[in-house]
Amino acid sequence: MKRLPPLPALHTFLVVARCCNFTRAAETLHITQGAVSRQIAGLESHLGYPLFHRQARGLSLTAQGRELFPRIEQVFGLIEDAVDHVGTRQQALQLKAPTCITRWLLPRLMTWQKERPDVPVELTTTIAHGVDFRRERFDAAVVYGAHPGDSMQVHRLLDEELTPVCAPALLNGPEPLTQITDLERHMLLHPTLDEQDWTQWLKAAGVQLGNVGKGQHFDTMDLAMTVASQGSGIAIGDWSLIGEDLRAGRLVTPFDERLKTGAGYYFVYPDRTQGTPGIQALLDWLRAQAGQR
């Protein structure tokens, strides 16, 4: 078997070929110019042909050097990719998500970690609904709102569907909920200060209530639904997110009316992470989970 040239000499050739200057190559490699010259001479001797024309005004690649250069560049690129892949394989995917989806997302991520321990995920929650991948070093995010646009890779998970939710005990309590106007006799829990969720849903239902502005306000929908599950009032919730609460009996939906607002929850990631196997696997799994609710 033919003996291959030493790898350090090939790396030196790659650096010199890029700048065609022994002095700049030596600075890049942190060795002396003489060491660079000796490695190139030794490599040429090993190969049996010259790689550079030595000229008064500098260096230029020979025909053999021009042919060898892109092949050596490709080899070192493959080596770098292999080292990066192995070094980052066990690093956790950094995922950002708004708190409004955590009651749906968290239990599913716990299941994911049991099924795919080879793709760990670290979740950062925030009251912010979006993400700026130019400034935030997340691998992916779940965002809430209108379609995020074309500045990133976007995949829809869930549509927002507003509907009132409450603890089961309120349905048949002292003030039963048999029709929408019965809400007038209960504390309404608002997930935002602007009361828009309740206002939109009541308008779609064709009902006006006099107690909308007298309810309790919270910072997030998740918090409002948690308080509702304790029997302290009726929250406007998102039907897409409460499957676990309904199955566990923590919440019920007293009315059938659901309002699609046009907003939704999207799995997004920047172009720099496109093609990452872990990202695609997590996306496919979450989309399957979203289909099951």
Residue 2 has what pLDDT? 65
Q: In whole angstroms, what separates CA 55 from the centre of its chain?
A: 53
Domain with 56, as residue range(s), is 7-87
What distance in Å separates the CA atoms of residue 97 and residue 266, rounded to the nearest whole number?
10
Look at the chain and report how many structural domains it folds into. 3
With beta carbons less than 8 A apart as the criterion, state whether 230 and 198 touch: no
Q: Note whether 77 and 135 are same-domain residues.
A: no
Q: What is the CATH number of the domain that holds 135?
A: 3.40.190.10
Burial class (CB in 10 A: 0-12, 13-18, 19+), 168: middle
Residues 180 and 111 in one domain: no
Angle at 230 (CA atoms; ends 225, 236), nearest 5 degrees:
25
Let me know: does 137 contact 92? Beta carbons within 8 Å. no
Helix axes 22-29, 33-47, angle to 10 degrees: 100
- Is residue 61 in some structural domain? yes
Q: pLDDT per position in the chain (293 positions), as tens?
A: 567 888 889 999 999 999 889 888 889 889 999 999 999 999 999 999 999 998 877 889 999 999 999 999 998 888 887 777 665 555 789 999 998 898 899 999 999 999 999 899 999 998 888 998 888 889 999 999 888 877 788 999 999 999 999 999 888 788 888 899 999 999 999 988 888 999 999 999 999 998 888 888 888 888 888 899 998 899 998 999 988 899 999 999 999 999 999 999 999 999 888 777 789 999 999 999 998 65
Residues 112 and 231 in one domain: no
**Beta-strand relationship, 153-165 and 216-217:** unpaired
Global pTM exceeds 0.75: no
Phi-psi region of 53 (alpha: psi -120 to 50; beta: other; left: phi over 0): beta
